[in-house]
Amino acid sequence: MPLPWLLVLLPWAGAAVLAFLPRERVAALTNCGISALSFLLALALLAAPQGVTGWTRLDALNLPLLLLAFLIGLTTAIYSLGAIAAEGLDPRRLRAFHVAFQLFMGAQALALLADNLGVMWVAIEVATLASVLMVGLHGTPAAIEAAWKFFILCGVGIALALLGTIILHLAAQPVIGAGEGLSWAALRAVAARCDPGVLNLAFVFLLVGYGTKAGLVPLHSWLPDAEAEGPVAISAVLSGLLLNAAMLAVLRAKAIVGAHPETVPPGALLLAFGLASVLVAAFALWRRRDARRFFAWSSILHMGLAATGFGLGGAAGNLAGLLHMLGHSLAKSAVFFGIGAAVRLRGSQRIADLGGLCIAAPALGWALAIGIAAVAGLPPFALFASEYLLVTEAAARHPWAILPLGLGLLAAVAAKVRVLQALCLGDPPTGPAAGPADWTSLGPIWAHLVLALLLGVALPGPLRALLGEAAGVAG
Amino acid sequence: MGFGQLPYDVAHLLGGGMLLLSFMLLYQRRVAAVVSVLAAQGAVLALAAAWQGWVQGAPQLYLTALVAAVAKAGFIPLALHWMIRRLALARGVDAALGIGPSLIAGVALVALAVAVALPITTGAQALAREDLAIALSVVLLGMLMMITRRNAILQVVGLMSLENGLVLAAIGVAGMPLVVELSTAALVMLVLVVAGVFVFQMRERLDSLDIALLHPHRGEGE
Amino acid sequence: MLVLGAVLTQALHVTLMLAAAPLVVGVIRWLKARMQGRRGASPLQPFRDLAKLCAKRPLLAENASLVSEAAPYLALAATLVAAALVPGFAHGMAFAPAADLVLVAGLLALARMALALAGMDAGTAFGGLGAAREMSFAVFAEPALLVSALSFAILAGSTNLDQIGAVFRDGALGLRVSLGLAAVAMVAVALAENARIPVDNPATHLELTMVHEAMLLEASGRHLALWELQAALKLTLWLALVAAIFLPFGTAPAGSGPFAWLTGLLAWGAKMGGLCLALAVFEGAIAKMRVFRVPEFLGAALLLALLAAALLFVSTGFA
Amino acid sequence: MLTAIALGLALLGLLALAALVPTGRWAGHWAGPVVLGGSALVSAGIALLAGGALAFGLPEGVLALPFGPAWGGMRLALDGLSAWFLLLLGLTGMAASLFALGGPARGLVAWPLFLGGMVLAVLAADGFTLILGFELMSLASWVLVALDHREAGNREAARLYLVFAALAGICLVPAFGLLGALDFAAIRAAPPEGWRAIAVLALGLVGAGAKAGLVPLHLWLPLAHPAAPSPVSALMSGAMTKVALYVLARLLLDLCGPLQPGWWGVPLLAAGAASALLGALRANLEEDAKAALACSTIENVGLVTMALGLALLFRAADLGPMAALAAGAALLHAMAHGLFKTLLFLVAGAVQHAAGSRRLDRLGGLIHAMPRTAVAALVGIGAAAALPPLSGFASEWLLLQALLGGWRLGEIGLQVAAAAALALAAMAAALAAAAMLRLFGLAFLGRPRSPRGAGAREANRFELAGMAVPAVLTLLIGLFPGLALALAAPGIRVLVGPAAMPPVVGLAIGAGEGHSAYAPLVVILLLGLALALLWLAVRRRSPATAERGPAWNGGFIDPPPEFVFGDPLSQPSAAGMAQPLRRMLGGTLLAAREAVTMPPPADPRPARLASGFEDRAALALPVPAARLGDAIAGQVERLRGLTLRGSLSLGFATLVGLLALLAWLERR
């Protein structure tokens, strides 16, 4: 069986196993084991030959995303080793959590690996449903509201994406060979000979559909509440993985449609959505009082930035977008880990209740501070590098784009600095405070930050080459 | 298409039937009736799939027809009816947008769908083009229904009829791989299950399915 | 010969300035007294005062620091160096190359700072008040001085006093409106810098509007003598400065023999005398203004200087 | 050479890592001395290397670092300009680190990173490296500013500080984007033209100005500098603002090429003049010693910016010597201010340690308790007040000469602008003198104003060493400005062209051939001679030693015995010293106000005088910006408040809109 399939089936098999593990400790450890195993498998992909095998493909574009996905899967599993106990879930829900988590990981892998657009669609749908279950896990009204919104909006979105896929097939159907009707490679090859009108229609639906998943404004409404409910681990994987998979799907569609010279340039639409997301999210950050929702909005901001990069297109633009996706996943999940630990410390996720971490729990406080700085795009982390490349590219190609970009970035940094100081500095508010954070939360945070640092200013040669190639693949 | 007018007309007829049913969905006031209309739409969909299978000589479409008949015309409506009975839903549907205006909006949407679909697909076969236009309309009408209905179940119904539109579009295209239809059908089931879970949870927490009552519970409030 | 002459004239100039300083003060007082119908003290009175002060044992406040003792020497030394740079009866003296107007202003600022520090050293109310006011007036005086220097720089192509004098002496420039404006501005600055009426009253004590004297309240004995001499020397310096820039005529070339020096000396004496008379008349004619009117006074001077420069931009070929 | 400096950078990074080690005895006893001492050594080494490079020839070529961002490497290069500022960095870094050794060891991780970030920014040979160093410097210094984050005021200062730093970055990055290439050499090869160049000018001015504290972007500066520990504020004021000026010069004078139009200098001249005037005036009104010093930093940054603008003007007008004069003034004043401001902030730190306060109204009479510190302070304020023969006067002499030559620009508008700038520069110098007098007089002269101040002690030897370094350098530069400018010559050539000659006449400095010159050695000789003669003469006439007695104080009655420090009313207060200038200029420029509350007759309460001011220029930008942002945020909130159906409709509307757009496009 080819390696990619293994990578999909292992988590699903794990999910099946976890479904029958009653003891939570054992289940959590098994969860970690499975995640570690699949991470090793993902590493093995580096050696695997690139190209299409059946419904899956392995290329420079999805390889980094896969590695990242399973890395974050592992760190999240380790984190929830310590954290999930504090979520106060009954055994049934706890088991549901573990099952859904592995289900999600497998679907995630499939979504990233898929070459057949239909399969990709199915995988993303499964991942969505799994995450919906995890979001609604607590069953509180707020959780139900978030999950229901998530479910309905993404259900509609995914349906539109399917329609887009079908229309894409309709466009290619006259010129494409039978059987490979939905293969990305094949579609991209023949795209130039398709009817541009149909391609446009297809792209609109794909963009709206997968863009909903990627949380692009104005299709973003589900994201803040979905990431703020459910166990903290969910926030990490949602912002770290699901958004990336959706963005990858958009990229695949863009690559196909963009291959036809006479279509409405897909980059322009993506750019518009990206800039809108940056502006709206940046200013939405100003009035957040809930820490997790704050960083959920910042995920929208960063997805918007990545979309802007891909919308600019070209080697540099795509590289900026890809780098931004990777860096954002690392930094943001690190921050969510930190927030989760802080929430455990204080039993509230309101910013006002979390203050003064640097004094209450210095190790956690400073780690979180650095993490937030990384998310805010301050040096020397990956987001700084990607934003530098993005802004310089925008200035060189569409100077007018500097204004919305700069405005959004400035507003976002202002808001993030405010929250950073509110969370980390000053005297802690008097109130219940548990013991300091343990290694299961600090370890993942530091690991992510170190990786983000390397990704920012000290990327090893081979990976650098890989990313460069990926920028080419994104078209 | 090597055939004469007939296949074209029949396919057109069936598609038009689905569109009509979508309008009836918008028009209906009573939940139970809405679900029955949905069932009817599923049945028509099954017929359309079978006809396309015969026209295109694509056996897998018969399977699609079967799935549609079983799931969309049979199981799902039954499940919904059961739910309605279990939850003793109010008979009447409280629409956010009046019936009349929503019908007008529906017509406008159909016009838009036609405007988008007709000119661009000149390359493709006439059949596919007609189907595309109708499918687009059904999808848009399904979304319109989701917007204009307050009741959670009716939102699910809207989603379902939206999916019907999808399948209609899918079967209209020759050579669409089987995986899509099957996965769609499977997922529709899954969606229904998840939706059911949440509907019951909502019911027990808020003893209402009016999603407007959900809004105040969003985290962080206003 | 040239070098020797330069050195000799320089030495003579310095001693002359030092000797003339008390005399100038004395003369002005005497003239003012005469104009007010009093007999007035003899013009030599300042010399006697200085001698008497030097003979007295100086008294310092308990908490006075070394500043009180060192500042007078520093201030007088700085003023003396500045005075040495200003051309007097002769031009082309030894220090001529260093005779830069900006440097003179800097040295005077140094003396002013020393004076203000000494004023604050004892930590008395009047000392701080005087120091603050002195520095505040300088805030308006210095720009006026430098902007009027701009006019000279444009006409002479340099801020070196000796060169300015040389350019103005040969009269190639003729009479210029802008120079007149600059002259007025500079005279205003001179009045403010030397604490003369209308900016300050040199003859008053313990009056809330005073500036210069307020800083000397704690000084006594030789320190007071040094301060008095410094003030007098500064006044002489300014008169000499005005003379060197606006009345550069009749100065002797340093290289020429003693006879030419003599004529230069006579001319210089005449100029200084005339300026003393003018100052006395002016001070006799007008009254002192309120402290917070001074900025307007000096601001007007600054505007005049700017106007002079602007006129030059327009009129001269440089524009 | 470059490699050695890069190794120094690596060493700084290692020191930061070493400071991370949290464990017991190391963290307790050794981390401080090792990290700070190491920083001092590395800084000294860097200063030596830079000075050597300036004296004996700069290294050719570019050093590519083995690592870098995903799209390319990071490059370092050392030319005249960067070497000059590197020299400044090394010297100030050494002094501040030495001083820090004398105090509690805090912020050990951020300190080397702060130094390293500055060095990296100055050494950078491509846009990314420069911005990386620039922002690293900002982030590290933010940590240092936020060290005392338990006080809300400090937190606010830190927040503003970081936001302004981000603003600087967000303006500079697109500026480099507009320049096109990443590598400096490539940019020089193809300088920007037309509106692109103008956009670069605007962005660069805002970006670098926000970090340098140019009016009206100076709001953060008087808040952040006092908030930080003294060695940090010394470094921020002495070195960091210079790095910002370096970026300004590099971007506008070097990278944009020599062909830019002359009017480019005007905005720099205007911003510089405004900063000089406003900063110097505020320095006279602030009642916190470090805040006053920070404001005087604004003034000096403004002076340097003026000089840079003049250099641009003269260069575009083909006045080579004048351009060199202006550029020399800029570089020399940057160096001079870097040193004496470091010195003054260190003095303020020593005073704070000894007397326990920075508020001028709680100090006084320290010259008796801390004579050595007082001498260092005298050198500092002398230079800051532009008194001969110290370094400040030399550089301001050059600046004034350049301004006095402004009439050579030919065009009347520029001439008038230069004349006005001259007036403002002179006024700023005089204002600085007043501020420095107030600072020294209130802190060191007079009587103590608080028990803690009365019990002050001399600074410890590390602090004295830290102050001695910049003090001696200030004296040396003041005495040998010619040598300093000769060192700066390569930098001047970078700014105004390869043919430029520094305005040097032997050891003295001159405003070009046939113009006046300033020879500090002559001045100091004459001063010394005059002093000696006077002293001898006077002491021969009056040998009596001075006697001590109570201050006469204009007949003010002696204070009652319970007033240990004398009657506080009889000593000038900070507000009182500021009163003349507050009334003369404050009203118009700083919205200064005074309010007297006079109790009715037969009411024993004393009359009170309340005075204050608010910096309109500083509030002119951030406040409306914040208000606007909040308004927009409010609108966005309405978007966020949508119900489920609302958001569904939003998505639906988006889809329909896109379809309509598509249909429309198809029609055409």
Q: Which tens digit of pLDDT belongs to each residue from D152-161? A: 889 999 999 9
A410 chain-D contacts, CB cut-off 8 A: 163, 166-167, 170
* Yes or no, beta carbons of B96 and D645 under 8 Å apart: yes
SS (H, E, C) D550-607: CCCHHHCCCCCCCCCCCCHHHCCCHHHHHHHHHHHHHHHHHCCEEEEECCCCCCCCCC
Q: Does B147 touch chain D (CB under 8 A)?
A: yes
Read off the amino acid at residue B76.
Answer: I
* Yes or no, beta carbons of B116 and D662 under 8 Å apart: yes
* Yes or no, beta carbons of B217 and A145 under 8 Å apart: yes
Tokens 């008095």 appear where? C228
With 0-12 / 13-18 / 19 or more C-beta atoms within 10 angstroms meaning exposed / middle / buried, residue C126 is buried
Specify whether the CB–CB gap between D375 and D474 falls below 8 A: no
Which contiguous run of DSSP H or E holds residue D64? strand D63-64
pLDDT of res. C74: 96
Residue of chain A with shortest Cα separation from B142:
A156
- Show the beta-strand stretches assigned E in A18-173: 51-53, 56-58
Is the pLDDT confidence value at C317 over 60? no
Mean pLDDT of A341-364: 85
Dist. CA A227–CA A292, nearest whole Å = 7
pLDDT of res. B194: 72
pLDDT of res. B14: 87
Dist. CA D449–CA D442, nearest whole Å = 9
* Yes or no, beta carbons of B147 and D656 under 8 Å apart: no
D168 chain-A contacts, CB cut-off 8 A: none
Of A411-420, D340-349, D613-622, the poorest mean pLDDT is in: D613-622
D177 chain-A contacts, CB cut-off 8 A: 391-396, 402
Confidence of residue D428 (pLDDT cuts 50, 70, 90): very high
Residue of chain C with shortest Cα separation from D523:
C81
| CA–CA min distance B215, chain D (Å) | 6
Checking phi first, is residue D297 left (phi over 0); if not, alpha (psi -120 to 50) or beta? Answer: alpha
- A10-46 per-residue burial string, b: 16 or more CB within 10 A, e: under 16: bbbebbebbeebeebeebbebbbebbebbbebbeebe
C145 chain-D contacts, CB cut-off 8 A: 426
Tokens 């009642």 appear where? D287
Q: What are phi and psi of C91, to 5 degrees?
A: -120, 165
Is the pLDDT confidence value at C106 over 50? yes
Q: Does B115 touch chain D (CB under 8 A)?
A: yes
Write the residue in D131, D149, D639 that is nearest to A280 by C-beta. Answer: D639
ipTM for the predicted complex comes to 0.91
Domain extent listing, chain D: 1-260, 261-531, 574-620, 621-667
C61 chain-D contacts, CB cut-off 8 A: 548-552
In a domain, A2, yes or no: no
D653 chain-B contacts, CB cut-off 8 A: none
Torsion, CA D84, CA D86, CA D91, CA D95, rounded to 10: 150
Q: Does B118 touch chain A (CB under 8 A)?
A: no
Percent of residues, chain B, with pLDDT higher than 90:
5
| CA–CA min distance C119, chain D (Å) | 9
Spatial neighbors of D41 by CB under 8 A, at least 6 apart, are none
Tokens 């080579």 appear where? D320
* Yes or no, beta carbons of D643 and B211 under 8 Å apart: yes
Dist. CA B137–CA B112, nearest whole Å = 8
A151 chain-B contacts, CB cut-off 8 A: 194-195, 198
B135 chain-A contacts, CB cut-off 8 A: 163
Higher pLDDT, A194 or B193: A194
Read off the amino acid at residue A398.
Answer: H
Residue of chain A with shortest Cα separation from D180:
A396
Q: Look up residue B68 and give its DSSP letter.
A: I
* Yes or no, beta carbons of C218 and D530 under 8 Å apart: no
**How many contacts does A have with B, using Cβ atoms within 8 A?**
139
Residue of chain B with shortest Cα separation from D634:
B222
Q: Considering all CA atoms of chain B, what is the largest pairwise distance in Å, rounded to the nearest integer? A: 62
Half-sphere exposure of C207 (CA within 13 A, CB side): 12
Of B142-151, D146-155, D453-462, the poorest mean pLDDT is in: B142-151
Q: Which residues of chain B have pLDDT under 70?
A: 1-5, 89-96, 119-128, 174-190, 192-193, 198, 200-222
Q: What are phi and psi of D446, to 5 degrees?
A: 75, -155
Mean pLDDT of D606-635: 84
The end-to-end CA distance of chain C, in Å, is 42
* Yes or no, beta carbons of D658 and A208 under 8 Å apart: yes
In a domain, A203, yes or no: no
Number of domains comprising chain A: 1
- Which B positions 172-191 lie with beta carbon below 8 A of chain A? 172-177, 179-180, 183-184, 187, 190-191
* Yes or no, beta carbons of B132 and A167 under 8 Å apart: yes
Interchain contact B/C (3 or more Cβ pairs less than 8 Å): no
* Yes or no, beta carbons of A201 and B117 under 8 Å apart: yes
Residue of chain D with shortest Cα separation from C61:
D551
Is the pLDDT confidence value at A157 over 80? yes
D632 chain-A contacts, CB cut-off 8 A: 283, 411
Dist. CA D67–CA D84, nearest whole Å = 26
pLDDT of res. B90: 58
B143 chain-D contacts, CB cut-off 8 A: 648, 652, 655
Spatial neighbors of D188 by CB under 8 A, at least 6 apart, are D254, D255, D257
Dist. CA A144–CA A191, nearest whole Å = 42
pLDDT of res. A432: 59
Residue of chain D with shortest Cα separation from C205:
D554
Dist. CA B55–CA D526, nearest whole Å = 113
pLDDT of res. C126: 87
Percent of residues, chain A, with pLDDT higher than 70:
97
- Which B positions 56-115 lie with beta carbon below 8 A of chain A? none
Of C202-211, D10-19, D434-443, the poorest mean pLDDT is in: C202-211
Q: Does B108 touch chain D (CB under 8 A)?
A: no
Is the pLDDT confidence value at A201 over 60? yes
Interchain contact C/A (3 or more Cβ pairs less than 8 Å): no
pLDDT of res. D70: 85
Q: What is the pLDDT of residues C188-228, one digit of tens each?
A: 999 999 988 888 887 766 555 578 888 888 899 999 999 99
Q: What are phi and psi of A123, to 5 degrees?
A: -60, -45
D162 chain-A contacts, CB cut-off 8 A: 413, 417
pLDDT of res. A81: 84
Note down the domain range covering A342. Answer: 265-475
Mean pLDDT of C226-242: 95
Confidence of residue D491 (pLDDT cuts 50, 70, 90): very high
Among A330, A172, A153, smallest CA distance to A240 is for A330
Is the pLDDT confidence value at A459 over 90? no
Dist. CA A316–CA A326, nearest whole Å = 15
* Yes or no, beta carbons of D644 and B144 under 8 Å apart: no
Residue of chain B with shortest Cα separation from A126:
B187
Is the pLDDT confidence value at A47 over 50? yes
Q: Does D515 touch chain A (CB under 8 A)?
A: no
From the candidates C47, C79, C129, C150, which should be mutated to test the interface with D, based on the most D CB atoms within 10 A? C150
Specify whether the CB–CB gap between D12 and D115 falls below 8 A: yes
Q: How far apart, in Å, are the Cα atoms of D416 and each of C63, C147, C150, D305? A: 50, 11, 11, 18
Is the pLDDT confidence value at D91 over 90? yes
Mean pLDDT of D366-380: 95
Residue of chain B with shortest Cα separation from D650:
B147
| CA–CA min distance A88, chain D (Å) | 28
Mean pLDDT of chain A: 88
Confidence of residue A39 (pLDDT cuts 50, 70, 90): very high
Residue of chain B with shortest Cα separation from D658:
B116
* Yes or no, beta carbons of D155 and A426 under 8 Å apart: yes
Which segments of chain C does DSSP mark as H helices, in order?
2-35, 45-55, 66-85, 101-121, 125-156, 161-169, 177-193, 221-246, 258-285, 294-315
Mean pLDDT of D248-273: 92
Dist. CA D209–CA D200, nearest whole Å = 13
List of chains touching C (3+ CB pairs within 8 A) = D
pLDDT of res. A145: 82
Calculate ∠ Cα D572-D576-D581, nearest 5°.
130
Q: How far apart, in Å, are the Cα atoms of B22 and each of A327, B76, B106? A: 45, 17, 9
Confidence of residue C319 (pLDDT cuts 50, 70, 90): very low
Specify whether the CB–CB gap between A201 and A115 falls below 8 A: no
Cis peptide before B7 (omega within 30 of 0): no
- Which D positions 531-550 lie with beta carbon below 8 A of chain C? 531, 534-535, 538, 541-542, 544-550
| CA–CA min distance C176, chain D (Å) | 18
Mean pLDDT of chain D: 90
pLDDT of res. A146: 85
